Amino acid sequence: MKKILVPFLCVPLVVLSACSEESQSEKFKPESIKINHDSEVNIVPLYSPYQKYLKASLDGDTEVSKKNYMNYVLSDIDKIGEKEEFDTTSLKGFFMMQSTAYQQALLDRIEALEERQDEIKKIITKNYTAAHKVLPKKKSTIFIVPINSEYTTMTEPMGGVAAGAYKDAVVLYMDSNFDKDALAYTVAHEYHHLILHDRNEYQLNKLLDSVIIEGKADAFADRVLKDVKAPWESPMDEPTIKHVSKLIQTGEATYEDLVGGSPQKDIPRWSNYNLGHDILDHYFKLHPDSKIEEWSFKGEADLLKGYKYQKLLQ
């Protein structure tokens, strides 16, 4: 996948203040984009709240930084949540949503992301719209968060993009060198999570729920973006699939094991995605004509019926 950087130059003298004290970030405010006559997506770059937090924290200690993060970033998220009428509790509690010890590096990352903001918005809008055409949703909010340096190594294999989906909201954690195809795939993948969150029967109470939900989201993204693949597209071999399935059944595997891998337990990274993909592929072989709006809302029992490791997983 190619990486494209779009340079941005500040015009000297005339608009100098826009790139200095005021900050370019002030230009990037929340923007509601109409998808059709009754649907919209609200794109919220958090560059400005992050810059305010960081500039207030550069000469402070860790506790000051944490307090400023709450006052500038988390409070801004709360204001958006209140306005758009969704709960921000789980969103703010995610482990990547916190202050950083690498403050100047994050300021530099924000500036680089600002230079690509037009590109970011176009990719989000294009792929959200494509997903919306398949499974409509009335309203969503997408936050753009500059990723902390503590977590950049985690996102490198994923093209510099990580994400979390909640009821009516998605958070995109982005490095400045993100891959545009990775961002496109992430938007489509997370959109499917948004759709499932709208269902009364949505649940994430056990590890198998996560496996199936991620399998569905990948299957959806594969169909919306036919020429883009996830970084975990290489399937696990049969002995590994069986081994991971058994550890899920016995309770020896954790969510962290499946996502990040566990050498001690012989669990590869991204096992939940790979196993979910295998389960959905099994279902599609038995039901080749099943439409997206049908299998998206199928339950565990229907998807696992006849699956080679059904007894291990259920």
Model pLDDT, residue 127 = 97
First CA to last CA across the chain, in angstroms?
Answer: 38
CA–CA distances in Å: residue 262 to residues 46, 240, 253:
34, 13, 9
Task: Domain ranges for the chain, please list them.
Answer: 24-197, 207-313
List the beta bridge partners of residue 143. Answer: 44, 171
State the DSSP code for 267. Answer: B
Tell me how many degrees the CA angle 80-58-22 measures, rounded to the nearest 5. Answer: 55
How distant is the alpha carbon of residue 221 from its chain centre? 13
Model pLDDT, residue 15 = 31
Cβ atoms < 10 Å from Cβ of 255: 13
Specify whether the CB–CB gap between 173 and 96 falls below 8 A: yes
Distance CA 291, CA 298 (A): 11
Model pLDDT, residue 235 = 85
Cβ atoms < 10 Å from Cβ of 306: 10
Cβ-in-10-Å burial (0-12, 13-18, 19+) of 13 comes to exposed
The 3-state DSSP class for residue 31 equals strand
Strand order in the sheet with 31-36: 31-36, 39-45, 139-146, 169-174, 161-166
- H or E stretch covering 118: helix 117-134
> What's at 282, amino acid-wise?
H
Q: At what angle do helices 117-134 and 180-197 cross, to 10 degrees?
A: 40
Specify whether the CB–CB gap between 19 and 38 falls below 8 A: no
Per-residue pLDDT tens listing for the chain (314 residues): 333 333 323 333 233 233 344 444 567 899 999 999 999 999 999 999 999 999 999 888 999 999 999 999 999 999 999 999 999 999 999 999 999 999 999 999 999 999 999 999 999 999 999 999 999 999 999 999 999 999 999 899 999 999 999 999 999 999 999 999 999 999 999 999 999 999 988 888 899 999 999 999 999 999 999 888 887 878 899 999 999 999 999 999 999 999 999 999 999 999 999 999 999 999 999 999 999 999 999 999 999 999 999 999 98
Distance CA 153, CA 160 (A): 9
The residue behind tokens 């509601």 is: 32
Model pLDDT, residue 232 = 80
Nearest to 25 by CA among 52, 4, 6: 52
